[in-house]
Amino acid sequence: MAVTVNASRLGLGILRRLPAEARPLIRPGTVPTGIVHLGLGAFHRAHQAVYTEAAIGAAGGDWGIVAVAPRSTAMVEALTAQDNLFSVSTLSAAGNSTRVVGALSGVRHAPSDPDAVVALLADPAVRVVTLTVTEKAYQLDPVTGQLSPDAALAADLAGGHPPSTVPGLLLRGLAARAAADAGPVALVSCDNLPANGRRLRGMLDQAVSRAVGVPGLVEWVTGNVTCPGTMVDRIVPASTPETIEAARRALGVTDLAAVAAEPYAQWVIEDDFPGGRPGWEHAGAVLTGDAGPWERLKLRSLNGVHSAAAYLGALAGRETIADALEIPHLADVLRRLIAEDVAASFTPPDGVRVVDYGEQVLARFGNPAIRHRTLQVAMDGSQKLPQRVLHTIADLRAAGRSARWGALVVASWLRFALGYADDGRPLPFQDPLAEPIRAALVAGAQSPEGAVDAVFALREVVPVEVAEDDEVRTDVITWLTALQRHGVEATLAGAR
């Protein structure tokens, strides 16, 4: 690897100038590749890369990560110019610290070099493939988990040209791996999907069985590919110029791949790796037979509450999640959501009390040093709401309980989707299903009843048992009416 000696830019050449506590835990560039990661976003850099570096440092192994950007080139260019190094700044009220991470052994840009990614997936040295590609990249109907291919994926399934989608890349990579007899591999979803291992497996099986020109791949995948489920957790907002400035202050050089994150991190992983894995347990990860209870705990008590704070906060004109928590009564309402709805909806992992976990979550959301924008968390609601809130509601109703606080979250999402904050300012609605949702809202816009009925008819967003439940419908309409008439602050003040 070429060593960049550039006084003003992060790179191998400047590491010796850094204080010991800011240096990587391993010698960067010396660990051979064993992992391919799809999705080069801030979350991967502050989560799996950090755990994997610590695991290699503690337990060894050839587990360098080649990270693949599925879309933009900016991060690939930044990391290439920095010898694949980046820094993580850990931010809290108690103070900040910054450390350079050396886990990446390479970076690739999938759109400009899909064949290189396919070749990597077929490399026998690669035995683990991790993914942080966001919910929508799986191209699964959020409610049913059925593959719902867009035109690009349909073209990938037809074959004959290099793949351009995540399912397409995996499909062609595994076909090449089977042809090369390169050995078994674990594909590990690190996205906030429900039962993410099973969803990824379902996506793969459906893609393989529909694909043209991959004879025998169904059998090979069955015998050689595992999809362990995971629960991933760390609050990592999108990087901003302030993130880069914090890294520059700490390191004395520019790091265009810098990320900032909260101190807390958790990773629960199902231990099903036929080709081996890093010693992640030495880095604090929990290896288990079933991540399901952890995943439900996190999706419902953290992400569901995060979405609630994001929609209500954005409507009330608050820029960040920490600002949103300052809205009078919001924290109390979120506590009731956790205690009365979330905690009653599922059985948590042994030894965990959901309300205690929820208190910790609220404290994390309040971290004033983490400027997590409400609009970032509000994005892609159609892909997030089922596992974050609608499953909670469905489970409560199946047990004969009410789900009033869950209904408030649904109403706040609908109110957000209508496109205006309480002060009349427009709100951006970024969602892969923005068109059908907006069309439904326009059709039903005359009244809250009309809006709820129109959106509840969208089967790819709202499960039938929730959509056809009169009590849920009434609760959502009541909250939506209050939010529209009185705004967030008065609605929360009057919430009982």
- Residues of the shown chain interacting with ligand CS2 in the complex, contacts defined by CB under 6 A: 192, 233-235, 303, 306, 376-377, 384
Residue closer to ligand CS2 (CB basis): 242 or 468: 242
Residue closer to ligand CS2 (CB basis): 131 or 482: 131
**CA–CA distance, 384 with 336 (Å, rounded to integer):** 21
Q: What's the closest the beta carbon of residue 379 comes to ligand CS2, in angstroms?
A: 7
Residue closer to ligand CS2 (CB basis): 136 or 306: 306
Q: What's the closest the beta carbon of residue 198 comes to ligand CS2, in angstroms?
A: 19
Tell me whether residue 105 is exposed, middle or buried, using C-beta atoms within 10 angstroms of its C-beta: 0 to 12, 13 to 18, 19 or more. buried
Residue closer to ligand CS2 (CB basis): 235 or 338: 235
Give the start-end residues of each E strand in 325-372: none
Residue closer to ligand CS2 (CB basis): 384 or 415: 384
Annotate 207-246 with three-state secondary structure. Answer: HHHHCCCCCCHHHHHHHHEECCCEEEECCCCCCCHHHHHH
Q: What's the closest the beta carbon of residue 181 comes to ligand CS2, in angstroms?
A: 37
Beta bridge partners of 218: none
Q: If you write DSSP's letter for every residue of 451-474 in order, what string do you get?
A: HHHHHHT-TTTS-HHHHT-HHHHH
CB 201 within 8 A of CB 272: no
Instruction: Name the percent of the chain in helix, strand, coil, to the closest 5.
Output: 50, 15, 40
Q: What's the closest the beta carbon of residue 388 comes to ligand CS2, in angstroms?
A: 8
Beta bridge partners of 286: 268
Q: What's the closest the beta carbon of residue 380 comes to ligand CS2, in angstroms?
A: 8
Q: What's the closest the beta carbon of residue 238 comes to ligand CS2, in angstroms?
A: 9
Residue closer to ligand CS2 (CB basis): 37 or 384: 384
Number of residues assigned to the chain: 496
Amino acid occupying residue 81: A
Q: What's the closest the beta carbon of residue 42 comes to ligand CS2, in angstroms?
A: 10
Nearest of 105, 120, 119, 2 to residue 63 by alpha carbon: 105
Residue closer to ligand CS2 (CB basis): 83 or 341: 341
Residue closer to ligand CS2 (CB basis): 125 or 238: 238
Q: What's the closest the beta carbon of residue 383 comes to ligand CS2, in angstroms?
A: 9
**CA–CA distance, 212 with 463 (Å, rounded to integer):** 32
**CA–CA distance, 101 with 30 (Å, rounded to integer):** 13
Strand, coil or helix: what is 401?
A: coil
Q: What's the closest the beta carbon of residue 266 comes to ligand CS2, in angstroms?
A: 8
**CA–CA distance, 476 with 404 (Å, rounded to integer):** 8
Residue closer to ligand CS2 (CB basis): 55 or 235: 235
